[in-house]
Chains A and B, each alone.
Chain A
């Protein structure tokens, strides 16, 4: 390689290292802000020593606790508990839940913290994992029975 090319390659390399370093440090500094949601334990125990204040608008993400979904039979009001590694936060919501919403499913809710362990949500989104498989396989592996939403009254006591 002739010296001029070597020089240019070195320049590109140095600039590359600087750019990667700068962006890396920026992202590291912004780390907490880039996270999409708080987990239930972060809401209760705090994240980086900061516990979210009551009245703060935030997003929470966690698993819906089995058996914790309470639906109002007259309105669209629903409440459920979210869990990650221990602490539980209750979410209250009024509206239509996404199709993927179910007990044991990961969800992300946006709302206001009304008490240290309760969130009044304006939006509930379903999160799914990166596993894709046909229904028969899921039944075999996870014991999940394949039920089409249209075939079953998924809204429990609500009904049509």
Chain B
């Protein structure tokens, strides 16, 4: 069932796959992000009690959801790396980590900027905000741990274990607003029921979510490509790639 995945354990095949996917990721980013952001920030209606401030939702909610999504993706890569010992899996893990960290920071920052006018405070140590902050620390921990080792396969294993252990935080973030009472409101769209966002606001929000997802995928893919090239610098196929690139850029 998973046989088709096996070739991508080889860096060369993974690199080729990145090249195939990347244009689609960028295309998705351009279309969804531009439509979603313009629709959300300019044309979507204002909220009945938050007025224009509600527009932060179009950045805050996608970045918050995808900070967890990116973490899960990173953890899956870590699992594959640890169990199947794929080098490309650890490369994927470390390619995603800084992207996820930045997205988490964006979620925290926009949340603070939204909290000040609406709640009356930038920050409060409630369960949702605190667990999201821990997510940022987990990302930073994975990056730092990976950086400590000179042997990158060893580094991948160590950071991978940390990434896997940290997965426990993801359901905590999601259910924090259910299990405990918090200042942060409950989930609006990531739940089984019909979302509590009116349709004219929900559509741009979902489009922004897709745009952010494509953007994160695109940036992670670019990072994965450069990680593969950096690690495989001395391999013949990379040497060939570099010399080919040299020729083509000379031609231009």
Which A residues are closer than 8 A to B by beta carbons?
5, 8-9, 12, 15-16, 19-20, 23, 27, 31, 34-37, 39, 61, 97-100, 108, 123-139, 142, 144, 146, 148
Does B48 lie within 8 Å of A36, measured CB to CB?
no
Hey, which chain B residues are within 8 Å of A23, CB to CB? 168, 172
Hey, which chain A residues are within 8 Å of B124, CB to CB? 36, 108, 125
Selected from A39, A61, A100, A139, the residue in CB contact (under 8 A) with B118 is A100
Hey, which chain A residues are within 8 Å of B245, CB to CB? none
Which B residues are closer than 8 A to A by beta carbons?
45-51, 54, 57, 79, 82-84, 117-121, 124-127, 164-165, 167-168, 172, 179-183, 185-188, 196-198, 200-201
**Minimal beta-carbon separation of B14 from chain A (angstroms):** 19
Hey, which chain B residues are within 8 Å of A20, CB to CB? 168
Interface of A is mostly: mixed
**Besides A98-B119, A127-B185, 10 other CB < 8 A contacts?**
A8-B82, A20-B168, A36-B124, A36-B183, A98-B118, A129-B186, A130-B185, A133-B198, A134-B198, A135-B48
Does A36 lie within 8 Å of B182, measured CB to CB?
yes
Given the known interface contacts A130-B187, A132-B197, the answer about A36 and B180 at a Cβ–Cβ threshold of 8 Å is: yes
Assembled-state Cα–Cα distance A6/B235 (Å): 31
**Minimal beta-carbon separation of A1 from chain B (angstroms):** 9
Does A132 lie within 8 Å of B127, measured CB to CB?
no
**Minimal beta-carbon separation of B60 from chain A (angstroms):** 12
Assembled-state Cα–Cα distance A115/B248 (Å): 80
**Minimal beta-carbon separation of A49 from chain B (angstroms):** 19
Selected from A19, A125, A138, the residue in CB contact (under 8 A) with B165 is A19
The 8 closest A-B pairs by CB, nearest first: A138-B48, A134-B45, A98-B120, A133-B198, A130-B188, A36-B126, A130-B185, A135-B48
Hey, which chain B residues are within 8 Å of A132, CB to CB? 47, 50, 54, 57, 188, 196-198, 201
Hey, which chain A residues are within 8 Å of B117, CB to CB? 99
Assembled-state Cα–Cα distance A100/B118 (Å): 6
Hey, which chain A residues are within 8 Å of B51, CB to CB? 148
Assembled-state Cα–Cα distance A8/B157 (Å): 12
Hey, which chain B residues are within 8 Å of A36, CB to CB? 124-127, 180-183
**Minimal beta-carbon separation of A58 from chain B (angstroms):** 13
**Minimal beta-carbon separation of A104 from chain B (angstroms):** 11
Given the known interface contacts A36-B124, A131-B196, A134-B47, the answer about A12 and B79 at a Cβ–Cβ threshold of 8 Å is: yes
**Minimal beta-carbon separation of A41 from chain B (angstroms):** 12
Does A125 lie within 8 Å of B183, measured CB to CB?
yes
Hey, which chain A residues are within 8 Å of B188, CB to CB? 130-132
Does A135 lie within 8 Å of B127, measured CB to CB?
no
Does B186 lie within 8 Å of A27, measured CB to CB?
no
Does B50 lie within 8 Å of A100, measured CB to CB?
yes
Does B185 lie within 8 Å of A134, measured CB to CB?
no
